[in-house]
Structure 1
Amino acid sequence: MRTAKLSLVLRQLRDHGPRSRARLATELGLTRTAVSALVAELADLGLVRAAGVERGGMGRPGTSVELDGAAVCGIGAEINVNHVAVIALDLAGNVVAEHRIALEAHKLAVDEVLDRLVELIERTDDDVRASGAHTIGVTVGVAGLLDRPREVLTVGPNLRWRDVPVGSELRARLGAAYPVSIENEGNLAAIAEAVPGDPNRQDILVIFGEVGVGGGIVAAGRLLRGHQGYAGEFGHMIVEPGGRRCGCGRVGCWETVCGLRALLDGAADPDDPMRDPALSLDERLAELNRRADLGDTRTIAALDAVGNWIGIGAAMLTNALNPSAIVLSGYFAEIGHHMRPAIEEHLLAGVLAPQAGGTRVEFSTLGFTAAVRGGAAVALEPVFDDPTLVAPPRAAALLGGDR
């Protein structure tokens, strides 16, 4: 019961921001004495701190409290076709460390990719400890179909991986320093976009575009996984029968017409400098934006064509699920302002309900960090479930800096 009440207070501060003890007591249906004791315990754990004076209402102003949590971090990591990336967030969502390496994962051995990721995770954990915090857990997102109970990537079409036991391989490399969990990267991106406490982000579809296209479904604030955990593989809806062959082996998948490869094929010839493998993804997107801003007709036509297909697919999903918002992430967010008119036109035309059933098109502000941020949030979730998992700072000091 005590743990549950500590969790209630901590989640209320996460979801709704700083609050006085009196306000917390009213919102949670607890006595002020009980809340004061809970806040004191959370402060002793290093998870909350004083946040100034809360004014308004009757009586004397109260001192508000807010999440602190600088002593504990969650690490999110990602294996994608073009990169591996890692981020560490503290309990309040602040970035403590961040690392990313560009690589062509589909051209490398699985062991090499995993080794590079582990190097980044260990470097990030070193940064966390140097900041005076400790890592509570690591969640790794992978691109492809994941058998979550076994933590095996069964099919990664664009990585060209099959039946890779990602969970056991990473644990063997990392040891028992902290809990490690594995998740689909699209699901992690969706978790990052479903902002706790924001009523406009509780029923959303997140569509993440890079070489492949994936995403996640959030319904009533909870991730929808599906019967066997494979929900969200939007990129493999068949939208163009007889079209281009996909990396999954089928023909006409959505990602063949709106993935990054489709855009680059439409915007630039093979010998165009923008197709140089040495260019990073950010550099390629910056060049696409530059050309579109200058009015280059071929670039604009390619963006319109991809925007049309995004809108067609988004309409299919909206007819089925009627989200409050479709959040476009990954490369879609970086150049989406050029595609918005085409996307919205086809969304409105393709949805049966008036005004697309109230579904809005939004662009992520998280860039390519959505999946790793979602991973860090998942890694921190056990602390919100049971704040006593975190040793008080004084006890941690006695234990020393051991992992």
Structure 2
Amino acid sequence: MSRRPSLTGSSATADQVAVRRHNLSLVLGHLRRHGDRSRARVAEETGLNKATVSSLVAELVERGLVSEGEAERGGVGRPAQAVGLDGRHLVALGAEINIDYLSVLALDLRGELVAERRVALDTAGMEPTRVLGELARVVREVLDGLDGRSRPVGLTVAVPGLVETATGTVFDAPNLRWQRTAAVAQLCADLDAPDYPVTLDNEANLAAVAELAARADAPPDDLLLLTGGAGVGGGMVAGGRLLRGGQGFAGEVGHMRVERAGARCGCGRTGCWETVVGLHTLLRLAADEGDPVRDPARDLVQRLDELRGRAAAGDTRTLAALTEVADWLTVGAGILVNVLNPQVLVLGGYFAALGPWFAEALEAGLQQEVFAPGSGGCRVEMSTLGFSAAVRGGALQALSVVFDDPTRAGLAPPARTTDDLATGATR
């Protein structure tokens, strides 16, 4: 009589692999959140036994994710060697395609900035294939400028509009004039089929990820980010989790209709919120055609610096433009605060760059616009990340692959000897 093959061995092995992968992630994430720790302290704080932690740390060291540092002091007896995240061997890339620029940023495992490059570019006036080719060029420039031993573990691209993350497709980005654009496939072709994953996401969602990370010491459970550019994006966090919606299209707050007989929006409808608070509207109100602040070939930060200088000097046209936009910003923000009741409303993008002329008006206006007393407990904050929020969020999202599954990082490159360095040899 023949016997059916037993699956017990393979199932048990699979379970053991899954458990180890989980524990590697647990230890790596613990070091990320709490900083350098001795093995004994990691064991105590995670509930794992000391032998297991020692084995896990040894593998994380081998993979180049963790290294030993100074002895941990403050305990009883001989100080134990502390271990912490090692940022030398890998980088995560974030990229952003926006109306006036392309940006690429690299973070190491510790989330520290390794490289950043932003290029002024009138992307809305270019074909998507050309824009993606330019982005690939900037990505290569950033990678070429890094230590050759730092290998990329992923690239996440931020786009202002509706994106299908699963397919890497820009479904509709009105301000870029992109529809049904297979952005990831094209970018991978331009990068010669990279051996790291390339993904796509909405720029406001990624900016919200970065804002949460910036508040890691006391992250709010409920946060609303409004990021101002040519359009207006909303990144929403509810219960500590990014709110994406049923199809992943949540956050397109710029297309709330606030003025039925208003201007025509890039989406084809009239009276959308971004038609009255978008950057191009502010610039049109503040300056005539041909003015340097309206030149898309100039760096956006420089243009906003010029506008800020004019406002500080009391230029009446600039101040009137800022007042009008602030009034409309309050109208839309009031609707969203009534619906979402966030603990924190963060202004990002150009709203933060010109924050001194928006914050006071917005805080006062919310008292009138929000039904709940005291604006429903919502406080207004300015982003401190400048125009790097979305691209930083992209890099952080690319890093999450490693923290979720440290085995995805591969193994660290072998150490080079003094003789190798002298002769230029590689292994």
TM-score range, shorter chain: over 0.9
Q: Distance in 2 between matches of 1:248 and 1:100?
A: 27
Please state whether the residue corresponding to 1:97 is helix, strand or coil.
Answer: strand
Corresponding residue number in structure 2 for 1:200: 219
Structure 1 stretch displaced more, 293-302 or 369-378: 293-302
Corresponding residue number in structure 2 for 1:17: 35
Pick from 153, 176, 180: which aligns with 1:136?
A: 153
Alpha carbons of structure 1 residues 337 and 131: separation in structure 2 relative to 1, 3 Å: farther
Corresponding residue number in structure 1 for 2:301: 282
Q: Is it true that 1:291 corresponds to 2:310 in the alignment?
A: yes
Q: Is it true that 1:374 corresponds to 2:393 in the alignment?
A: yes
Corresponding residue number in structure 2 for 1:87: 105
Corresponding residue number in structure 2 for 1:173: 190
Pick from 177, 189, 196: which aligns with 1:160?
A: 177
Deviation at 1:18, TM superposition (A): 2.8
Alpha carbons of structure 1 residues 305 and 59: separation in structure 2 relative to 1, 3 Å: farther
Preserved contact between residue 194 and residue 202 of structure 1 (Cα < 8 Å): no
Q: Is it true that 1:215 corresponds to 2:203 in the alignment?
A: no
Q: Distance in 2 between matches of 1:396 and 1:113?
A: 39
Please state whether the residue corresponding to 1:181 is helix, strand or coil.
Answer: strand
TM-score, normalised relative to structure 1:
0.92
Q: Distance in 2 between matches of 1:88 and 1:147?
A: 24
Q: Distance in 2 between matches of 1:64 and 1:302?
A: 55
Alpha carbons of structure 1 residues 60 and 206: separation in structure 2 relative to 1, 3 Å: farther
Structure 1 stretch displaced more, 237-246 or 119-128: 119-128
Structure 1 stretch displaced more, 270-279 or 326-335: 270-279
Corresponding residue number in structure 1 for 2:368: 349
Please state whether the residue corresponding to 1:64 is helix, strand or coil.
Answer: strand
Corresponding residue number in structure 2 for 1:109: 127
Corresponding residue number in structure 2 for 1:184: 202
Alpha carbons of structure 1 residues 337 and 63: separation in structure 2 relative to 1, 3 Å: farther
Q: Distance in 1 between matches of 2:373 and 2:254?
A: 26
Partner amino acid for 1:144? Answer: G
The structure whose Rg is larger is 2
Partner amino acid for 2:190? Answer: R
Q: Distance in 1 between matches of 2:312 and 2:36?
A: 42
Deviation at 1:355, TM superposition (A): 1.4
Deviation at 1:376, TM superposition (A): 0.9
Corresponding residue number in structure 2 for 1:252: 271
Please state whether the residue corresponding to 2:250 is helix, strand or coil.
Answer: coil
Q: Distance in 1 between matches of 2:100 and 2:340?
A: 31
Deviation at 1:143, TM superposition (A): 1.6
Deviation at 1:3, TM superposition (A): 1.2
Please state whether the residue corresponding to 1:159 is helix, strand or coil.
Answer: coil
Task: Quote the sequence identity (%).
Answer: 51
Corresponding residue number in structure 2 for 1:365: 384
Partner amino acid for 1:254? Answer: W
Q: Distance in 2 between matches of 1:60 and 1:324?
A: 45
Q: Distance in 2 between matches of 1:244 and 1:216?
A: 25
Structure 1, gaps ≥5 residues long = none
Q: Distance in 2 between matches of 1:221 and 1:62?
A: 35
Q: Distance in 2 between matches of 1:29 and 1:76?
A: 34
Alpha carbons of structure 1 residues 99 and 401: separation in structure 2 relative to 1, 3 Å: farther
Corresponding residue number in structure 1 for 2:142: 124
Runs of 4+ in 1 over 6 A off after TM superposition: none
TM-score, normalised relative to structure 2:
0.87
Deviation sequence 1:257-283 (CA, Å, 0-9, x none): 111012112222335443344432112
Partner amino acid for 2:70? Answer: G
Corresponding residue number in structure 2 for 1:41: 59
Please state whether the residue corresponding to 2:234 is helix, strand or coil.
Answer: strand
Corresponding residue number in structure 2 for 1:98: 116
Deviation sequence 1:301-338 (CA, Å, 0-9, x none): 22222122222212211111112211111111111122
Partner amino acid for 2:229? Answer: E
Preserved contact between residue 162 and residue 172 of structure 2 (Cα < 8 Å): yes
Deviation at 1:56, TM superposition (A): 4.5
Deviation at 1:218, TM superposition (A): 1.8
Q: Is it true that 1:307 corresponds to 2:310 in the alignment?
A: no
Alpha carbons of structure 1 residues 152 and 2: separation in structure 2 relative to 1, 3 Å: same
Deviation sequence 1:53-80 (CA, Å, 0-9, x none): 4445666654433211320111111111
Preserved contact between residue 70 and residue 92 of structure 1 (Cα < 8 Å): no
Corresponding residue number in structure 1 for 2:4: none
Structure 2, gaps ≥5 residues long = 1-18, 417-424
Alpha carbons of structure 1 residues 53 and 220: separation in structure 2 relative to 1, 3 Å: farther
Q: Distance in 1 between matches of 2:187 and 2:291?
A: 39
Partner amino acid for 1:287? Answer: E
Alpha carbons of structure 1 residues 369 and 122: separation in structure 2 relative to 1, 3 Å: same
Deviation at 1:285, TM superposition (A): 0.5
Deviation sequence 1:187-208 (CA, Å, 0-9, x none): 1111111117433344211111
Preserved contact between residue 355 and residue 382 of structure 2 (Cα < 8 Å): yes
Preserved contact between residue 136 and residue 379 of structure 1 (Cα < 8 Å): yes
Preserved contact between residue 96 and residue 127 of structure 1 (Cα < 8 Å): no
Deviation at 1:392, TM superposition (A): 2.7
Structure 1 stretch displaced more, 50-59 or 267-276: 50-59
Alpha carbons of structure 1 residues 264 and 396: separation in structure 2 relative to 1, 3 Å: same
Preserved contact between residue 155 and residue 162 of structure 1 (Cα < 8 Å): yes
